[in-house]
Structure 1
Amino acid sequence: MKILIATYWLIPHVGGVWVYIQDLKASLEKLGHEVDILARHPDDSSYYIVNTGRRVEKKLFRPLIEKEIKAVYASQPIPIDPWIVDQEIEFCSYALAASYLGLRGYDIIHAQDVISSRALWQIKPNGVPLINTIHGCLATDFWVSLEGRAPSDSIWKYACAREYYGATSSDLAVVPTNWLHRTLGSYLVPGDHMEVVPYGMNIEHFLQRTKERNSFKLPKDNCNILCPARLDKVKGHSSLLDALHLLKQSRNDWRCLFVGDGNLRAELEIKALELGLSPYVVFAGSRNDVPSLMRQSDIIVLPSLNDNQPYAVMEAQLASKPILVSDAGGIPEMVQHGQTGLMARAGDSGELSRCLQLLIENKPLRNRLAKNGHSWGLKQWSLPAMAERIEELYERLLSKQHIRKASHPPKYPGHHGAKICTYFRNAYQMDIPKSFSIVDDHIVGSILFQANQS
Structure 2
Amino acid sequence: MSQSLKIGITCYPSLGGSGVVATELGKLLAEKGHQVHFIAHSIPFRLGTTFQKNIFYHEVEVSDYYVFRYPPYDLSLATKMAQVAKMQQLDILHVHYAVPHAVCAFLAKQMVGSQLKVVTTLHGTDITVLAQDESLKDLIRLAINESDGVTAVSNDLIRETREVLDISRDIDLTYNFVDKRVYYPRDTSALRGDFAKPEEKILMHISNFRPVKRVSDVVDIFAKVNEKVPSKLLFVGEGPELPKIQCKINELGLQDKVHFLGKQDEIAQVISLADVLLLPSAKESFGLVALEAMACGVPTVGSQAGGIPELVIHGETGFLAPIGDVDQMAKYAIRLLSDEDLARRVSEACLNRACVDFCDKLITKQYEEIYYRVLGREVPKLDPVWR
With the shorter chain as reference, the TM-score category is: 0.7 to 0.9
1:137: which partner in 2?
Answer: 125
- The amino acid that maps onto 1:39 is A
* Structure 2 residue matching 1:109: 3-state secondary structure: strand
Mapping for residues 204-223 of structure 1, pairs under 5 Å: 204-207=181-184, 210-211=186-187, 217-219=194-196, 220-223=198-201
Kindly provide the CA deviation profile for residues 297-348 of structure 1, in whole angstroms up to 9, marking residues without a partner as x.
2112211111122222112222112221211100101122111211121222
Does the C-alpha gap of structure 1 residues 213 and 359 become closer, same or farther in structure 2, counting only changes over 3 Å?
Answer: closer
Q: Is the 8 A contact 1:164 1:184 kept in 2?
A: no
Q: How does 1:24-63 map onto structure 2 within 5 Å? A: 24-41=25-42, 52=56, 54-58=58-62, 60=63, 63=66
Aligned twin of 1:246? 224
Deviations 1:180-207 (A, max 9, x none): 1101011235343311122232112322
Matching residue of 1:200: 177
Distance 1:264 1:37 in 2: 32
Within 5 A, what are the aligned runs for 1:105-120?
105-114=89-98, 115-120=100-105
* 1:173/1:193 contact within 8 Å kept: yes
The change in CA–CA distance for 1:213 and 1:170 in structure 2 (over 3 A counts) is farther
Query: Are 2:294 and 1:317 aligned?
Result: yes
Describe the superposition over 1:17-71 as per-residue Cα deviations: whole angstroms up to 9, x where unpaired: 232123211222233211111112279xxxxxx975743532x2564443xxxxx
Q: Which amino acid counterpart does residue 33 of structure 1 have in structure 2?
A: H
Q: Which has the higher contact order (CA 8 A, sep 6+)?
A: 1
Say whether the 8 Å CA contact 2:317–2:350 is kept in structure 1: yes
Distance 1:63 1:214 in 2: 56
Q: 1:227 aligns with which of 205, 220, 236?
A: 205
Tell me whether 1:92 sits opposite 2:75 in the alignment: yes
User: What is the aligned partner in structure 2 of residue 122 from structure 1?
Assistant: 107
The runs of 5 or more residues in structure 1 that have no matched partner are 44-49, 67-85, 144-154, 402-454
Which residue of 2 is the match for residue 3 of structure 1? 7
The 1:355–1:186 alpha-carbon spacing in structure 2 relative to 1, beyond 3 Å, is same
| Equivalent position SS for 1:255 | strand
Residue 237 and residue 61 in structure 1: after superposition, are their counterparts in 2 closer, same or farther (change >3 A)?
Answer: same
Aligned with residue 176 of structure 1, among 145, 153, 174: 153
Shift of residue 170, structure 1, vs aligned partner:
1.0
Residue 310 of structure 2 aligns with which residue? 333
Give the CA deviation at 1:99: 4.2
Alignment match of 1:379 (pick from 334, 349, 356): 356
Matched, 1:286 2:263: yes
CA RMSD of aligned residues (A): 2.8
Gaps of 5+ in 2: 45-51, 379-387
Deviation at 1:132, TM superposition (A): 0.8
The structure that has the greater radius of gyration is: 1
Alignment size in residue pairs: 358
SS at match of 2:366: helix
**CA–CA separation in structure 1 for the residues paired with 2:274 and 2:377:** 49
- Name the CA shift for 1:93/1:213 in 2 (closer, same or farther; >3 Å): farther
Q: Cα–Cα, structure 1 residues 134 and 324, in superposed 2: closer, same or farther, change >3 Å?
A: same
Question: TM-score w.r.t. structure 2 length?
Answer: 0.83
